[in-house]
Chains A and B, each alone.
Chain A
Amino acid sequence: MVPKLYKVFDSVDLYVYGSNKFKSEMLSVKFVLPCDVDMSPKNTLMISVLRRGTEKFVSLAHINKRLDELYASCLSVNNSLVGDNQVLGLTAEIIGSKFAYDGDSKKNNGEGDILDGVIEVISQILFYPATDENGDFKENYVSGEKVNLCDMIRSRINDTASFSVSRCREIMFGGQPYGISLMGSEEQISRITAHELTQHWKEVMSRSRLHCFYLGSQDPEVVVEKLRRHFKDRAVNDPYLPIVPNENKDISADVKVKRVDEKMPVVQGKLVLGFKFPHNAQGYAERVLNELYGSSPISKLFVNVREKLGLCYSCSSVYVATKKIMLAAAGINVSDREEAENEMISQLESIRRGEFSQLDLDSVKKSIDSGIRSGASDSLEYIQGFYFYRNLFGIDENIDEFREKISAVTAEDVVKAARSATLDTVYFLEGSVGDENGTDCEYGPIEDTEA
């Protein structure tokens, strides 16, 4: 089954994936903006200010109370980096109407339409923000969210694993859209005024098409009608267009590996290797390679770097399809840094030499296939994500076609993909606790040799 497209308005598309298999239903409303070092932090601040209060639900407490009345509907804010795009939006997870329950175990006879209520809340958040007498976002909401965002920027260091992977990405794509932080810097955030943010919201809304996705059992026409009733029919001028990935043209043997070490007062070091694939990579062999290299319990990294050498507890890799890169990360003793790096690289080299069995290849392909089948059949999030990104980038591929392409990947394809992977960046977060310089805390680059 493939989701079907319905036009709510010219500027609002709705994809419906009908299913009565789940007790929950899902509705997401997303819009796509280009990543930009100045604009993205404003977008991030904007979506959190919008979530604070609306004309009808004047504060966060009012919004949350309304969601609780709608059988504790979850409404989460989406803000993610997808290739060179920033995807913003709201996703609601609601319980199916037939499970609405009035507290006395009698079923609710359709009273109180949960989906309708949630669409109203989403519409209020996106189109009818709480404003002051000048029509600007309320100053206290803007200043409160500025403080919260600055706290989040500072708190990136709390999780050294995700911090070091983000730093590797930022270094790999320095000066490019994919190398930015969506949160920006504290200095950038502190300069944004309520008036400026309101003007920014108006521009974003006038240039954004809305992509809605509904997964549930209700009649699609009914969902369309509810969206028409609550959403605004806006004229969209000069629309933002999704940026289709077309990356990594700069790969050549002459480009030196970027090496960045940063110190932090923690015990464990985090080593991250960033590899780029050529821009014409199809992405199927690269996925299989990633699974074989570092994304399964039989992967080269798990079996050798962790199990055989005992250098780490976590050692794995991830393939980022939208940018055709692979990031391999390990948490290690600082003194094992060189051995771990050499071993991680030599494991990729062994794949380049074709040193893996047919059984290994079949196992990792099965593992990917099982993940796709399981997600595509049993997970609301997976189904939504799979089709959202393909629609966004105009990729005409359904789940079965995707599975077939993974299944067709041969050992030669994997070897070729491994040979085409170029080491771009080596990032090391050096834990300094226990070192003689352990009290210093330096977050800036302290060594940038071959960049």
Chain B
Amino acid sequence: MTDKENITEYSSELLGERYFKVRHKSGLDVYVYPKDMVTSYALFATRYGAFDDKFRKGGANGQLVETPSGVAHYLEHRLFANEDGSDSFEKFSAFGADANAYTSYDKTVYLFSCTENFEQALRELVTFVTHPYFTKENVDKERGIISQEINMNTDNPYVRCAANLYCAMYEHHPIRCDIGGTLESISRITPEMLGDCYNTFYKMSEMVLIVCGDHTPEEVISIIDKLLPDGGVEENVLPERRKEKREACIPRTEQKMNVGKTLFTIGIKDTDIPDTPMMRIKKETAMTVLNEILFSRAGRFFSQCFESGLIGASFSCDYSLCRDVAFNLMFGESDDPDRVLSELLEYIADVRKEGLSREDFERSKKVLYAGFLREFDSTEDIANNMVDFIFDGVDLFDYLDIIKDVAYEDVCSLLDTQFDRECISLSVISPL
């Protein structure tokens, strides 16, 4: 490697772990996390997901393009096809590597794991992602496959419960649409559209390459050096920030489906989204601590509802903050989801009066720490965790301090501001 000054090392004494960041001459940020494991895991990701349905072609002053829902996911499916008629899956298989890809709301990730032939597999990953080939024929052919993926999700009551909830909470945010789109929206997707989206979002400045395994930064850079040309200064694509009203749009939604017992998701819309990456992750962490205090399986709410048979063992909760949306979800099974919601609101009112227990607060931080620690036992977990942190703009190891620094007072103030009735929607899937 020539540009040694471009290497930044990040480390954690407590974990006994470290990783390196290299700004490659192509403009790509490359992260190498050395790990003494047989399994190497690499991912190549772009900040382009289902939320990016509107963008300006050719920069900030370019033409505004609106695309049907499902384009990012469709593009991910088609990128494995090569101009010579081959499919990259075949090449990975010949190296003994296991390749895959996924699309989420805010990113698209291409990945592989292997125990040998790492160099060839990494070359293939970087090559196929940087060489799109979309023709009418191959794009049309994919429609049948993606239609079946959409049908599969149409029959999935857990997916439907969440999707209905997002439509109830949000007025116009793209979270209202499924990541894969609909049978109708994908019928409008063309090779030209995929090409436009590719050219806008698959720029090195929007992407990141992460390698975790028994490898050095020098080794990784020497492999990709010949594959990626020097890059000029590129203008970053600024994701559109949407404004949503504070309140949930519809308080309750219900669909009848092929289920054995009624499922529910309670969603609490949160429009108070901090501006800086660090403030956002701090808020997300404090909310996760609050959820653990309030809804843990060792806590009062879960115990009372479970012992009385109001909810089943599957009850869980999750706070998410992704770009311009944030919400707190509680999901489970119950014969009477409306009562679960009313009990929850009563419980919150009680806890606000009594105050949060400091013992529970400390216990909850311990739970978060242990959960985070466990993610360092697999190269796959490390790389996937890293991509989330990198796209959020925060160093992975900072998370230990972020957990430590969550103050009791922060969590108490969140308890006072969250859980307002007008921000809550209830989504129910009941048996036919």
Contact = CB atoms under 8 A, between A and B. Distances in A.
B419 interface: no
A311 B261 contact: no
A378 B379 contact: yes
Given A60-B306, A266-B258, A313 B148 contact: yes
Interface stretch (B45-53, B90-98, B201-209, B242-250): B90-98
Interface stretch (A21-29, A121-129, A346-354): A21-29
B155 A431 contact: yes
Interface in B132-156: 141-146, 148-149, 151-152, 154-156
B377 interface: yes
Contacts of B371: 72
B10 interface: no
A370 B116 contact: yes
Interface residues on B, range: 35 or more
B154 A267 contact: yes
Interface in A96-139: 99, 101, 103-105, 107
Interface in A290-326: 296-298, 302, 306-307, 309-314
A84 interface: no
A366 B96 contact: yes
Contact of A24 (B157, B333, B365, B374): B374
A154 B430 CA distance: 13
Nearest to A94: B370
Nearest to B149: A313
A61 B308 CA distance: 13
A333 interface: yes
A268 B152 contact: yes
Contacts of A72: 366-367, 369-371
Interface string B349-382: 0000000000000110111011101101111000
Nearest to A376: B38
Interface residues on A, range: 35 or more
B3 interface: no
A370 B376 CA distance: 21
Contact of A154 (B113, B261, B302, B401): B261
B97 A370 contact: yes
Interface stretch (A2-10, A63-71, A235-243): A63-71
A310 B141 contact: yes
A157 to B, nearest CB: 6
Contacts of A309: 144
A99 B369 CA distance: 10
Interface stretch (B168-176, B272-280, B292-300, B322-330): B292-300
A214 B31 CA distance: 34
Contacts of A152: 260
Contacts of B300: 61
Interface string A345-383: 000000000000001001110110111011001111000
B79 interface: no
Given A310-B141, A363-B96, 20 more contacts: A23-B376, A24-B377, A61-B299, A64-B296, A65-B363, A72-B369, A72-B371, A95-B373, A105-B404, A152-B260, A158-B260, A160-B155, A267-B151, A267-B154, A297-B92, A310-B143, A314-B149, A331-B148, A370-B115, A441-B432
Instruction: For the complex of A and B, list the 9 residue pairs with the smallest distance between their C-beta atoms, beginning with the closest.
Output: A154-B260, A310-B144, A366-B96, A155-B260, A297-B89, A72-B370, A65-B298, A377-B38, A313-B149
24 contacts: A59-B307, A61-B299, A65-B363, A71-B370, A101-B14, A105-B401, A144-B307, A151-B312, A155-B260, A158-B259, A297-B92, A297-B93, A310-B144, A311-B144, A313-B152, A331-B148, A367-B93, A367-B96, A370-B113, A370-B116, A373-B38, A431-B155, A441-B258, A441-B432
